[in-house]
Structure 1
Amino acid sequence: MPSTAHHRVPADDAALAASGRRAVQIEADALIALARRIDGPFSAACRAILAGSGRVVAMGMGKSGHIARKIAATLASTGTPAFFVHPGEAGHGDFGMITDADLVLAISYSGESDEILMLLPLLRRQGNALIAMTGKPASTLARAADVHLDVSVPAEACPLHLAPTSSTTATLAMGDALAVALLEARGFTSEDFARSHPAGSLGRQLLLHISDLMHTGQEIPAVPAEATLAQALVEMSRKRLGMTAVVDADQTLLGIFTDGDLRRALDTVGLDIHSTSIASVMTRNPVTIGAQALATEAARLLETRNIGSGLIVVDAERRVIGALNVHDLLRARVV
């Protein structure tokens, strides 16, 4: 059983908060110091990555390994193909994942991680470019690298100066700095980001088009201008979109009739739904949308134009080619 003799409860909440603030301040100071060192070697690292034809292979042991994984994930999602390889596993077969076109980003605060140093001759023989992130510019790894990025910190936030705290924060920030600089250098756009995150909210906003959601063919509610209000209501009931398009013989949109139009029509004294033509009660010149518009544009139109039913989708000649309502946008999690 581990001893609990040295476990001590802090005196009060103020002491706990003071410890937390002290840790954050130490790490903030480390980041300020780091910013002053983003200069020539940093630019050289960016140029080496941009010039490469392969991927960035991030590696590190322990806490540095966790940071390397995150840096690889950030690079990959912002336009720089990257992945993580565990240095220990690389010595037992996973080195085969690294091609001669890849650039290796090796992370070790001491610069003396045995598992990484063991791979250096193999990387040199294969011709891989090597970028090292260490806190020791005179270390073996730093001296072996083509580019060394200094992530040293004045002090760890850990009061025992044992647990990697400020050093891992600085290393993570350096990785983020690389990702952002490369992103801007590549002209990476929000649309590019969305393609890397198709299941995320941004992916849905930037990749989902009206054509992906709209009802087509027999699912489109539509009646001719000669139809009666009763016939239009039957069509609306069958198609269950809360509206129907009113079209001519060429399927050109003449108007729209919605649940809201129905409520207004029923206020008319003496209205006979079997003799009233739909053309006399429809909304003319309704708001429409094109099939290639983004789904978010449909959501914006519904909100800004206070449309409660849905939208008719038309082509360049205003022929009806589809329809969608707010429920379609909700199912797609666009709104």
Structure 2
Amino acid sequence: MATPSQLRQWAREVIDVEIEALQGLQQYIDDAFVAACELMQQCKGKVIVMGMGKSGHVGNKIAATLASTGTPSFFVHPGEASHGDLGMLTEGDVVLAISNSGEASEIMTLMPVIRRLGIPVIAMTGKPDSSMAKLAQVHLNIKVTKEACPLGLAPTSSTTATLVMGDALAVALLQAKGFTADDFALSHPGGALGRKLLLRVDELTHTGTQLPAVSESVTISEALLEVSAKGLGMTCVLDDDGHLSGIFTDGDLRRVLDARIDIHATAIGEVMTRNPITLADNLLAAEALKLMEEKKINGLVRVSPQGQPLGALNMMDMLKAGVL
């Protein structure tokens, strides 16, 4: 039975081999890579990804990454394509065919039909002189010096290189198209990504009677009752016209106590934080979180264009909503 030290050593050797493989991949970001990007960017239909075995599993992920980053794409199994699924291909599509050997028979069987349909093919192989590479309009080289498998049989370094080349294509296209976080959110409406990218501050803020607010003239002790009652660790401070003139937070309270200020006789307007950072209605929750982290603050107030407080939120609200 292997010892713990042997297991760790073998694992480190795998990582070292795969890092070396990825460093070698840099040389293949060449004119062919540019040509593949241009072909996919000009595609009027969809990028159809194909691959058998491990290449197919990686191809599935590449297709999903392309689709979620602004390049419409889906995976077609070459074996199923020979039995009717090739009908999914239409004029204007581009095929991204993946095979480390470049000789996958299931894909080679499809090549004459794909060419007859006038659909351009990008081949991603580890052998530039392979049949697939020669038949494709563009060949992307993913050759690795060796597999991380000590037997040299299990696809390891080669599949990692394939995956990274696919990511390189997807991200290069994302940036070329000017794909934004809002665009990304439209294809990720569910789960944590959806919450982070679609949720806006107006959906999180405490409003109405839940909004902590006091006038400038009340004493600090009276303001603390409002802070405690609303449970946000802060309160808005309003002028006579109902506009936000400042806020008072737990941090302000610590400074007041350190200064030994009489909380029963001093007006909140004298110790509040003036000109606080505020939120606009259309701000994303993720943007508000970034602002809070950058400014090292735990609470924010949402205001109207006229400066009236509309709602407030704190870091706990971000946590509950899954944004944090």
TM-score (norm 1): 0.75
Cα deviation 1:199-221 (Å, max 9, x = unaligned): 67776566544223112234323
Larger CA Rg, structure 1 vs 2: 1
Task: Give 1:130 shift.
Answer: 0.9
8 A contact 2:48–2:75 mirrored in 1: yes
SS at match of 2:40: helix
Aligned counterpart in structure 2 of residue 314 of structure 1, from 288, 294, 303: 303
Task: Give 1:334 shift.
Answer: 3.9
Aligned counterpart in structure 2 of residue 88 of structure 1, from 69, 73, 79: 79
> Which shows bigger deviation, 230-239 or 183-192?
230-239
Match of 1:44 in 2: 35
Aligned counterpart in structure 2 of residue 118 of structure 1, from 106, 109, 113: 109
The equivalences for 1:199-278 within 5 A come to 207-223=198-214, 239-248=230-239, 250-256=241-247, 271=264
8 A contact 1:314–1:320 mirrored in 2: yes
8 A contact 2:215–2:238 mirrored in 1: yes
Structure 1 Cα separation of the partners of residues 104 and 206 of structure 2: 59
8 A contact 2:279–2:288 mirrored in 1: no
Structure 1 spans left out of the alignment, 5+ residues: 1-8
> Which shows bigger deviation, 315-324 or 236-245?
236-245
Structure 2 Cα separation of the partners of residues 25 and 142 of structure 1: 29
Structure 2 Cα separation of the partners of residues 37 and 307 of structure 1: 46
Task: Give 1:314 shift.
Answer: 1.8
Match of 1:64 in 2: 55
8 A contact 1:261–1:281 mirrored in 2: no
8 A contact 1:257–1:281 mirrored in 2: no
Structure 1 Cα separation of the partners of residues 300 and 112 of structure 2: 64
Is 2:178 the counterpart of 1:169? no
Match of 1:103 in 2: 94
8 A contact 2:54–2:159 mirrored in 1: yes
Structure 2 Cα separation of the partners of residues 55 and 78 of structure 1: 13
Task: Give 1:255 shift.
Answer: 4.3
Q: Compared with structure 1, are the counterparts of its residues 109 and 250 closer, same or farther at alpha carbon in structure 2 (3 Å cutoff)? A: same
Task: Give 1:180 shift.
Answer: 3.5
> Which shows bigger deviation, 96-105 or 183-192?
183-192
Cα deviation 1:11-55 (Å, max 9, x = unaligned): x66666665555555545544444333322222111111111222
Match of 1:5 in 2: none
Task: Give 1:191 shift.
Answer: 5.7
Structure 1 Cα separation of the partners of residues 274 and 202 of structure 2: 22
Match of 2:314 in 1: 325
Task: Give 1:243 shift.
Answer: 4.2
User: What amino acid is the match of 1:148?
Assistant: H
Structure 1 Cα separation of the partners of residues 22 and 152 of structure 2: 17
When the two chains are superposed, the root-mean-square deviation of aligned CA atoms in Å is: 3.9
> Which shows bigger deviation, 32-41 or 109-118?
32-41
8 A contact 1:60–1:86 mirrored in 2: yes
Structure 2 Cα separation of the partners of residues 325 and 287 of structure 1: 14
8 A contact 1:49–1:56 mirrored in 2: yes
TM-score (norm 2): 0.77
Structure 2 spans left out of the alignment, 5+ residues: none
Task: Give 1:109 shift.
Answer: 2.0
Structure 2 Cα separation of the partners of residues 49 and 218 of structure 1: 54
SS at match of 2:95: strand
Structure 2 Cα separation of the partners of residues 49 and 149 of structure 1: 13
Report percent identity of matched pairs: 53
